[in-house]
């Protein structure tokens, strides 16, 4: 049985506690002997599957998840139910912890000293380092040889991002990629080529042409929220690390490194598009939908969003259009009153499109509970990694799989070809597959503080006109201070 550590440190406002070592009741082994937070220990943790009883009462396993609404909430719950129906040894109960990942992490950190963490948690990709440092995770890679976690089939960039302390950390991976959704009718009205902009320069020139076309109801050519992940993606696209130690992958980051001439150039161009009325000012708040509504109502021609929004885009913008309608290059024969015909493109960059960091969610098995519960949790992960469940997440939930074989399945190929959401997700999948393993994106322990600092910096530059160079310098100093505080308080 794997145990939790005994060290807890405060690190921020939204996440009340960052956990380094926290004692777990009921353990038969010493915390010091099994602490994954100690360097190199994670890779030595054994697969718990052999502890699953072959008879007796069902093993009770709890799954926590957050930030899943609508169809995705249904999928999360239904997969637990279908797993329960598929066998008679384990019973999984899925529990919704709220509409945002950070709120769930607050509950998780508060649950550690009370010995009440779930057996499985679905968390954001940015939480991986924090969860490893908490000493509460059994790495999915520990069960690769048993066939529960197909590490050898994962995309190279996925393996690169999620391999920490020598181990592949999550059990199952749901991926997203930032991309462009644009209104092909608006582009036609502005006499622009039928393609998404690939660079900042094209975003600017396309926006100018759209404004000059005096399209009815058009207010801002672009709608997007100023999300820190978007800035991370812009920086990934130009090969710039956000923090030291190989963007946090070669050891705990000790300082921020994003205050560079290219970062200043990115922010300066981005700011100018806001200042000149090219981009709508939309706050980055949970449940924000204005970016979609603007395009649906003809107020904007382009939205930059996650590929996880593919089904939302289909609902908001697709109307009665079919995939065949979208393949109609001439945009003829459309129903009267059609205002939006979606097109899809890779995430634009300063120099070229498509260079995005790893993002999305992942299932993690924890070392809470008994040895049997840990085994049951990993068996549930085994089920989630089977092809039918992976196809369900992609086709119905707009989550890409970290397993490259999933996209080759006939049902997925048909989905890519015959549905609007599928056409969008094919663009996203191609983007992710092309990202080099050497640039998976940043990973830090104090993720909440990092995001808050970056969000404040972006809003000050884009919304209130702060000087990009000064704002970057201030944010870099603040992130560095947060990293050093986190490392000091947790003994790294």
pLDDT in tens, 365-415: 999 999 999 999 999 999 999 999 999 999 999 999 999 999 999 999 999
Residues 401 and 486 in one domain: no
Report the distance separating Cα 458 and Cα 449, nearest Å: 14
Residue whose structure tokens are 């059994």 = 138
**What pLDDT sits at residue 188?**
94
Domain that includes residue 251, residue range: 178-356+439-490
Domain holding 153: CATH number? 3.40.190.10
Asked if residue 465 is part of any domain, the answer here is yes
Assess if residue 428 is contained within a domain: no
* Tokens coding 313: 């885009």
Low-confidence ranges of the chain (pLDDT < 70): 1-39, 316-337
Residue at token pair 């000293």: 113
CA distance 377 to 139: 12
pLDDT digits (tens, 9 = 90+) for 295-320: 988 999 999 999 988 887 777 665 55
Q: Looking at residue 209, what is its pLDDT? A: 98
Together in a domain, 248 and 106: no
Cβ atoms 243, 479 nearer than 8 A: yes
Q: Which residues contact 89 (CB under 8 A, 6 or more apart)?
A: 52, 53, 54, 58, 59, 376, 379
CA pair distance 333, 331, nearest whole angstrom? 7
393/289 same-domain check: no
Structure tokens at 216: 């009815």
- 387 and 462 fall within a common domain: no
> Could you say which of 423, 453, 480 is where a domain stops?
423
* One domain, residues 443 and 368: no
Final residue of a structural domain among 423, 458, 477? 423
- Separation of alpha carbons 323 and 330, rounded Å: 14
Taking phi first (over 0 means left), then psi (-120 to 50 degrees means alpha), and beta for anything else, what does residue 349 get? beta
Closest CA to 276 of 352, 203, 183, 179: 203
CA 447/CA 453 separation, integer angstroms: 10
Total domains in the fold of the chain: 2
Quick one: pLDDT at residue 49?
Answer: 98
Q: Are residue 306 and residue 362 in the same domain, yes or no? A: no
Q: Which two tokens stand for residue 160?
A: 């690169």
Same structural domain for residues 342 and 206?
yes
Q: What is the pLDDT of residue 29?
A: 29
- Point out which residues pair with 94 in neighbouring strands: 63
Q: Both 226 and 254 in a single domain? A: yes
CA distance 467 to 196: 29
Q: Is residue 203 part of a domain?
A: yes
Q: Which of 268, 260, 221 is nearest to 241 (CA)?
A: 260
If asked whether residues 208 and 283 sit together in one domain, one would say yes
H, E, C per residue of 338-371: CCCCEEEEECCECCCCCCCCCEEEEEEEECCCCH
CA distance 315 to 128: 32
Kindly report the pTM of this predicted structure. Answer: 0.89
Residue ending a domain, among 366, 395, 423, is 423
Cα separation, 244 vs 277, in Å, equals 36
Rounded Cα gap, residues 435 and 120, in angstroms: 29
- Asked if 150 and 218 sit in the same domain, the reply is no
CA dihedral 396, 280, 441, 181 (to 10 degrees): 40
Establish if 274 belongs to a structural domain.
Answer: yes
Predicted local confidence at residue 351, as pLDDT: 87
- The answer to whether position 433 is within a domain reads no
Please report the sign of the dihedral spanned by the C-alpha atoms of residue 32, residue 37, residue 38, residue 44: positive
Whether 430 is covered by a domain: the verdict is: no
Q: How many whole angstroms separate alpha carbon 304 and alpha carbon 210?
A: 16
Residue 345 and residue 365 share a domain:
no
Same domain, 21 and 129: yes
| Residue 3 resides in a domain | no
Please report whether residue 434 resides in a domain: no
pLDDT at position 26? 31
CB 299 within 8 A of CB 217: yes
Alpha-carbon distance of 58 to 83, in angstroms, equals 13
Do 169 and 364 form a contact (C-beta atoms < 8 A)? yes
């Amino acid at each position: 049985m794997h145990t939790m550590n005994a060290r807890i440190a405060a690190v921020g406002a939204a996440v009340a506690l960052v956990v380094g070592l926290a004692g777990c009741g009921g353990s038969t082994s010493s915390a010091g002997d099994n602490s994954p937070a100690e360097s190199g220990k994670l890779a030595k943790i054994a697969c718990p599957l052999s502890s699953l009883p072959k008879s007796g009462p069902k093993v009770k396993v709890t799954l926590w998840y957050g930030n899943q609404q609508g169809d995705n909430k249904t999928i999360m719950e239904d997969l637990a139910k279908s797993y329960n129906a598929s066998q008679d040894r384990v019973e999984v109960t899925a529990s919704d912890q709220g509409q945002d990942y950070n709120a769930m992490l607050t509950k998780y950190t508060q649950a550690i000293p009370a010995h009440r963490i779930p057996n499985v948690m679905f968390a954001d990709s940015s939480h991986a380092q924090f969860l490893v440092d908490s000493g509460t995770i059994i790495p999915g890679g520990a069960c690769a040889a048993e066939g529960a976690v197909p590490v050898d089939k994962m995309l190279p960039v996925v393996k690169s991002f999620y391999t920490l302390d020598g181990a592949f950390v999550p059990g199952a991976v749901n991926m997203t990629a930032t991309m462009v959704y644009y209104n092909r009718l608006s582009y036609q009205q502005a006499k622009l080529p039928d393609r998404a902009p690939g660079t900042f320069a094209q975003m600017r020139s396309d926006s100018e042409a759209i404004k000059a076309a005096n399209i009815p109801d058009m207010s801002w050519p672009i709608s997007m929220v100023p999300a820190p992940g978007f800035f991370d993606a812009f920086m990934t696209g130009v090969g710039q690390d956000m923090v030291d130690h190989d963007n946090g992958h070669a050891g705990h980051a000790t300082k921020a490194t994003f205050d560079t001439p290219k970062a200043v150039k990115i922010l300066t161009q981005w700011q100018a598009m806001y200042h000149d009325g090219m981009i709508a000012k939309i706050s980055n708040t949970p449940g924000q939908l204005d970016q979609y509504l603007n395009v649906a109502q003809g107020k904007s021609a382009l939205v930059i969003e996650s590929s996880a929004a593919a089904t939302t885009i289909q609902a908001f913008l697709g109307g009665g259009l079919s995939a065949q309608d979208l393949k109609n290059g001439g945009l003829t024969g459309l129903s009267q009153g059609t205002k939006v015909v979606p097109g899809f493109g890779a995430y634009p960059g300063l120099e070229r499109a498509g260079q995005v960091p790893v993002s999305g969610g992942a299932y993690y098995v924890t070392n809470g509970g008994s040895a049997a519960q840990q085994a049951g949790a990993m068996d549930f992960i085994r089920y989630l990694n089977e092809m039918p469940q992976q196809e369900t997440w992609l086709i119905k939930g707009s989550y890409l799989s970290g397993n490259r074989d999933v996209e080759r399945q006939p049902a997925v190929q048909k989905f890519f070809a015959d549905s609007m959401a599928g056409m969008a997700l094919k663009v996203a999948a191609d983007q992710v597959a092309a990202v080099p393993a050497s640039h998976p994106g940043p990973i830090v322990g104090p993720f909440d503080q990092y995001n808050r600092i970056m969000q404040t910096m972006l809003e000050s530059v884009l919304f209130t006109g702060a000087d990009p160079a000064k704002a970057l310098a201030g944010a870099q100093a603040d992130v560095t201070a947060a990293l050093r505080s986190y490392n000091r308080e947790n003994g790294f």
